[in-house]
Structure 1
């Protein structure tokens, strides 16, 4: 096992990571289905309005459009890139994330965009990191606003495997990780020369060839953070993140209507609050880059969020069928569309991309 992990052969490591990711997904999905009443789940699926999958997919594609638009503004200081190219790259990257573990799709995005636009791969990776942090910051803002109206004392109960952690510690953990990273990136963007000089000092003891590679990567990586240098740019990027997640919350809302979940709420406000909180908590909670597409972890966190929230009285079987269907809507269309883009553009296979990137 250790020989596999330490192997310098990218094919071996890719295979190992893939098997590990699939194993994690299988275990988590096993826990997910083991805690459901299958008969009740089957009965629920018979009542679903499957026609509403169509507007759900449309809503998600609009969300992806805003992702591409936000990425355009993150890249604009490096190069002006057409929206149609960015949209294709985002779809292909998300397709790879859905099929492969450890968010390898981010490497695919940086590789492809670098080849298409002649922008440094490390600079592109920096913008993707900023994207991820912006997503987390926006979702935490949504959760913070929701916490005003919904008591969060029992939120720790949605943590899988019975891990004992208080609600306060859970909140501090996520806020520290994402807001801390965001602040560090802003500091680096505002002080690029000082940051580069600091890295150069850290790499001074390395062998010269390796030091030069690290220094070159870090320098171009920091160039990808320039968009965070000015406060108005940061505010604008966070504002662009709102429709990204607003339209994804639309997917949750439309599919909830398909499952008749909205019927159990007293008013529209409670229903939308549940949708926004479920979208936010499930995406933050399943952001660990392990299983392909977050399969298993997403279902568990999203289901327990719905069951845990203090209104609606939704059973685990209904919530389980619902979140599984939502995740399918978020994954399957992008896999199909990504494959179409790859076939149309005669692009390399994802496996080939990762091997060359290594």
Structure 2
């Protein structure tokens, strides 16, 4: 596979500019008309809920590590290594463009895991499918009536498609490979079609190896992971005494995480705050307070995950005596997925 060249790096830099502009627009759109005094309005009204924010953050991300380790159990990957690689990649995704963290997980850390990059890539696909399904389900069940109709209809359609697709993949993986090969063989043969076939068959292979029981366990893990994510929002809302109904935090967490699908800067800065503002406002929270809360909860998520992942990364590099600069490692990453 090709590695990065000066021309490739320049092209990647150009690709990040639209994302930065999208983030800048959403930040302006979200916070326009909000007086600076509103940013000082949040305070710890019920400090006991700090335990909830910390506890659910720890449990949720620990379970993410457990889920990914389970996906790689056929390769006998160690839990500690899986946890280190996953947290490092999540931290990198928050501070670097173009989902560099996922690319590093697939290529840079494949030798550490003892797993082929293509197999790791299949688990990343499965991870995203599970998360989108659960988050979409939460959003559709909690979306307030004040949300724009096109957003609600789009979410309903996306949930229906993802539900059917995920159920077929999870419970029919053993019978899907041969029909998929026939379908792709009937399509025009080009590089994109070949890659799509390769990626889909990888995901099917991973699900087939897990078995129906294993797939159900993965789905249950995903449900608990997103319950913890929602409880972070619930705890934070109680912590600062924001007025909303029972569904408000759940729509906020689901819509905010769906906003990561919009092209923007690393960490979805801008779209995340806009989504939280829109969600909480549709459940009775003032728009100004909802926007400021979105900024605060996003800061916590970025700082906690990036801080934990960064610390794990630095400790491992120190113990392994790896003195290669991180940017130099990134420059050697392949320019294409397996």
Which TM-score tier does this pair reach, normalised by the shorter chain? 0.7 to 0.9
Q: Verify: 1:38 aligned to 2:36, yes or no.
A: yes
Change (3 A) 1:331 1:216: same
Change (3 A) 1:144 1:47: closer
Gaps of 5+ in 1: 1-6, 158-164
Change (3 A) 1:35 1:184: farther
Q: Verify: 1:223 aligned to 2:205, yes or no.
A: yes
Equivalent residues of 1:36, 1:317 under 8 A apart: yes
What secondary structure does 1:356 align onto? Answer: coil
Further displaced range: 295-304 or 217-226: 217-226
Could you report, residue by residue, the CA deviation over 1:143-178 in whole angstroms, capped at 9, with x for unpaired residues?
34446xxxx443326xxxxxxx263x2233322453
Further displaced range: 135-144 or 114-123: 135-144
Q: Verify: 1:308 aligned to 2:308, yes or no.
A: no
Partner of 1:3: none
Partner of 1:154: 146
Matches within 5 A, 1:252-291: 252-261=233-242, 264=243, 270-271=245-246, 273-291=247-265
Counterpart pick for 1:326 among 285, 289, 297: 297
What secondary structure does 2:18 align onto? Answer: helix
What secondary structure does 1:9 align onto? Answer: helix
Partner of 2:269: 295
Counterpart pick for 1:73 among 53, 58, 70: 70
Change (3 A) 1:195 1:244: same
Equivalent residues of 1:56, 1:329 under 8 A apart: no
Gaps of 5+ in 2: none
The offset of 1:132, in angstroms, is 1.1
Change (3 A) 1:353 1:184: farther
The offset of 1:45, in angstroms, is 3.2
Equivalent residues of 1:133, 1:181 under 8 A apart: no
What secondary structure does 2:238 align onto? Answer: helix
Partner of 2:232: 251
Q: Hey, what's the Cα distance between the residues in 2 that align with 1:47 and 1:202?
A: 59
Partner of 1:17: 15
Q: Hey, what's the Cα distance between the residues in 1 that align with 2:293 and 2:65?
A: 28
Partner of 2:308: 337
Q: Hey, what's the Cα distance between the residues in 2 that align with 1:128 and 1:255?
A: 29
Matches within 5 A, 1:196-235: 196=181, 198-199=183-184, 202=187, 220=202, 222-227=204-209, 229-230=211-212, 232-235=213-216
Q: Hey, what's the Cα distance between the residues in 2 that align with 1:217 and 1:140?
A: 22
The alignment's TM-score, normalised by the length of structure 2, stands at 0.81
Q: Verify: 1:190 aligned to 2:175, yes or no.
A: yes
Q: Verify: 1:242 aligned to 2:223, yes or no.
A: yes
Further displaced range: 345-354 or 60-69: 345-354
Report how many residues are paired: 324
Partner of 1:4: none
Partner of 2:91: 95
The offset of 1:319, in angstroms, is 1.2
What RMSD over aligned residues (CA atoms) do the two structures have, in Å?
3.3
Equivalent residues of 2:260, 2:271 under 8 A apart: yes
Further displaced range: 277-286 or 24-33: 277-286
Matches within 5 A, 1:80-119: 80-119=76-115
What secondary structure does 1:247 align onto? Answer: helix
